[in-house]
Amino acid sequence: MATAQEVKVLTHFIGGEMVEGKSGRFGSVYNPTTGEIIAKVPLATAEETRAAIEQAQAAFPAWRDLSVAKRAEVLLKFRNLLTENMDKLLQIICTESGKTIEDAKGEVTRGIESVDLAIGAPHLMKGEYSVNVGGQINAYSAKYPLGVVAAISPFNFPIMVPLAQTSMAVAVGNAVILKASERVPMTALFVSELWKKAGLPDGIWTVVNGDKDAVNELLENPAVQAISFVGSTPVARYIYETGAKYGKRVTALGGGKNNMIVMPDADLEQVADAFIGAAYGAASQRCMAISTLMPVGEETADRIVAILKKKIAELKVGSYTEPDTDFGPVISQQSKEAVLAAIERGEAEGAEVVWDGRELPIVKESKGFFVGPTLLDHVKPGMEIYEQEVFGPARNIVRVASLEEAIELINRHELGNGVTIFTNDGAAARKFTTEIDVGMVGVNVPIPIPVGYHNFAGFKGSRFGDGVMFGPEQVRFFTKTKTISERWTAPVSTASTFAFPSND
């Protein structure tokens, strides 16, 4: 355990400054690789959060009134600062999340895609114009920012998700408050410094660290116009229901139980490599990670299991500082215990452990929060490990007799985040993409996460509200549209008319 002198006390970022917490309450930030406490993060009170909202509200009008081209210039400077500070970002992300350098770099790159899209706000904010719709009247629509908006982000992507939630919101003229995960607050605070260097006016970007007290103030405060949330499904439902109750726009993205269907005609060596990366990367702490492999037919299942056993045995679990590490620890001791418990319950319910990651020396001996790659076969619908999202490297195989059975099982599940199929049969792929009731669909793609300029959102219990993360739909979510009808005529004396305006 780190000594008190080594533990950094973090701050909030309010009004363009690092601001000490006043609540007297702190959360512990761990290095998951070592199990050591590396920082204390202040947990804001409702009053502190309210004060931050007021500062954001005061800063909003000037940013709204700045031309969208000038706002885009700030976004471009911010983007350049992200790339210039890549090494520093990677070090922070790896230290507080346990990710490998390669994984963290991929995350930053994906986050920059959202900034790239937001730089194009001058184009994306264009409205519509109609000439002489009737009686010399022209009609047009125009997009305006909402005001103060908030984002509540998860621990598993310390920079990609916050950038995806906020970049467009800033670009279209809003003041943004980020409630970063208290498990990975250091990345958000460093990003705050980059926003300031980029020339973003004080108060337009705010980071409030906290727990439920801060979240509830964001949900209930009338000055906050919209909420973007990414996290677990139960919390997403709470965020959506509470935010909607207080009249806010809400996009709340929840969890996923993502499936990979394997048809008999697929290249199984290719499938095995794709599954391992998609299933175990980032210690399986991705909402788009593949949870379940669904081979069609017993022969396909037996062959892919034999291949996977050999490949999983070669995976290296360890610190991001060690060369060739495939993935690191889960985020906390509680997460490690939850994953281990899920494996035990799967065994108890009749699943067969094909590869047992609990037996690795690093799992038993390290103070870090390591769990080895684990694969369970002969899992059935109804088993907890199939029905519930396991946020850690415990993956399962559900054997199906046909593509139709696979589609039926997936569509019946309460979550609908991501799904993919591996096949060389175009007809099977077409049937799959047409009939599957899931938001993000892949064909021979291991993780069907869209690029930053396409919309990201699941279906069913994976998404509450009608907004998205990534993509041009964010412009609609973070703006309000005014439709204006106007007529300019030469001064003429006319009589009053009381009929409803029409083209007659």
| Longest CA span, the chain | 92
Distance in angstroms (rounded) separating the CA atoms of residues 408 and 33: 40
Half-sphere exposure at residue 2, Cβ-oriented, CA atoms within 13 angstroms: 17
Distance in angstroms (rounded) separating the CA atoms of residues 165 and 244: 18
Which residue is associated with the tokens 């139709």? 404
On the 0-12 / 13-18 / 19+ scale of CB atoms within 10 A, 359 is exposed
- DSSP code of 128? -
Spatial contact of 484 and 142, defined as CB atoms under 8 Å apart: yes
CB neighbours of residue 411 within 10 Å:
15
Of 418, 117, 489, 424, nearest in space to 267 by CA: 424
Tokens of 300: 């396909």
CB neighbours of residue 204 within 10 Å:
26
* Phi and psi at residue 269, to the nearest 5°: -65, -45
Spatial contact of 251 and 469, defined as CB atoms under 8 Å apart: yes
Spatial contact of 360 and 317, defined as CB atoms under 8 Å apart: yes
Distance in angstroms (rounded) separating the CA atoms of residues 139 and 151: 34
Say which of 104, 271, 282, 287 is annotated catalytic: 287
* Phi and psi at residue 98, to the nearest 5°: 85, 5
The one-letter amino acid at 372: G
Listed in order, strand segments (DSSP E) in 20-146 are: 26-31, 36-42, 129-134, 137-145
Half-sphere exposure at residue 384, Cβ-oriented, CA atoms within 13 angstroms: 12
Q: Is 225 helix (H, G, I), strand (E, B) or coil?
A: strand
* Phi and psi at residue 329, to the nearest 5°: -80, 170
Spatial contact of 410 and 259, defined as CB atoms under 8 Å apart: yes
Distance in angstroms (rounded) separating the CA atoms of residues 236 and 254: 5
Q: Is 287 noted as a catalytic residue in this protein?
A: yes
**Phi-psi region at 465: left, alpha or beta (left = phi > 0; alpha = psi -120 to 50):** left
Catalytic residues: 287
